[in-house]
Structure 1
Amino acid sequence: MPRIPLLVIALFFMIGGIAHFVVADFFMMAMPDYLAYHKELVIISGVFEILGAIGILVPQTRLLAGYCLIALIVAVYPANINMALHPEKYKDISELFLYIRLPFQFLFIWFVWWAIAPERLQKKHSGA
């Protein structure tokens, strides 16, 4: 049975991934103007969130999925910055919340890193 932190991560990314399809317009609005293919990037990131959510629960793919989810968090960080810099686009979200969530992205990276620690340590000690 997966550990509780892994279930939390899976739930978070599964909901987020599905949201990329259900409210795609919101995610496209968050995309920085300097990036092209907003719709395609939203779909791709949604697919990878769902795959990561599933992968983190499967022992054989957990380590790779964890690393990929960390990379995904880093990859979408510019959209989070863009949201904070343009709070007028997000009338229903507190401007303070848009800024406070930025450092929490780093905390979430750590949380994923910590959650896959047993697999990282096992691989390190096995020499694989």
Structure 2
Amino acid sequence: MVPLIVLAITTLAARVLGALGVDYVDSWSAAVAAGLAVMFTVTAVSHWIRPKRDGLVAIVPTWVPTPGLIVTITGILELLGAAGLLVPGTRVASAICLAVMLVGMFPANVRAAHGVDHPAAPRTPLPLRTTLQVVFVAAAVFVAITSAQPAP
């Protein structure tokens, strides 16, 4: 739930700044991009902070080789994607890549929901986790679509 709260608060704060005249976030598309950037930065940090990292490694599906390396790589990709969302020229590509990554990481959420014997593993029930993933993917797709449209 923390990522959703971060996304919502940051997006709304960015939109308020846009309404107050900050051109960089003067649209919902830019505000959601900022919200996603902060959200992915927050989630990326957990890829290196113990015990959270250990819990993430534990939920990587068993058929995925080198789970520790995968967790490190996905954390790096989240940071790169977050940075890319903040640059208008790379925003669309970053949003698409992050949406695809979220879909690719979903099997780990399924594994976590079915119970992994690790105290730091996420415990979000699958229906809620699925809903959250849909919201995050939809936000990334929204940014990709609306950022790709020419400005009026």
Shared fold, TM over 0.5: yes
Query: What letter is aligned with 2:101?
Result: L
Distance 1:84 1:78 in 2: 10
> Alpha-carbon deviation of 1:75?
1.1
Task: Give the whole-Å Cα distance in 1 for the aligned partners of 2:58 and 2:71.
Answer: 10
| Residue 5, structure 1, aligned to residue 32, structure 2 | yes
Could you tell me the TM-score, scaled by structure 1's length? 0.83
| 2:130 matches 1:102 | yes
TM-score of the pair, normalised by structure 2: 0.71
Unaligned runs of 5+ residues in structure 1 are: 123-128
Tell me the CA shift for residue 21 of structure 1.
1.1
Q: 1:114-125, aligned counterparts within 5 Å?
A: 114-122=142-150
Q: Paired residues, what number?
A: 121
Aligned pair partner of 1:46 in 68, 75, 98: 75
CA 1:111/1:43 → structure 2, altered by over 3 Å: closer, same or farther? same
- Structure 1 segments, 4+ long, off by >4 Å, are 90-94
Match of 2:43, as an amino acid?
G
What is the percentage of aligned positions where both structures have the same residue?
Answer: 23
CA RMSD of aligned residues (A): 2.1
1:59-94 deviation line (CA, Å, top 9, x unaligned): 011011001100110111010000011155458865
* Contact kept? 1:66, 1:113, Cα under 8 Å: yes
Structure 2, unaligned runs of 5 or more:
1-23
Say whether the 8 Å CA contact 2:57–2:68 is kept in structure 1.
Answer: yes
Task: Tell me if 1:21 matches 2:48.
Answer: yes
Change (3 A) 1:29 1:110: same
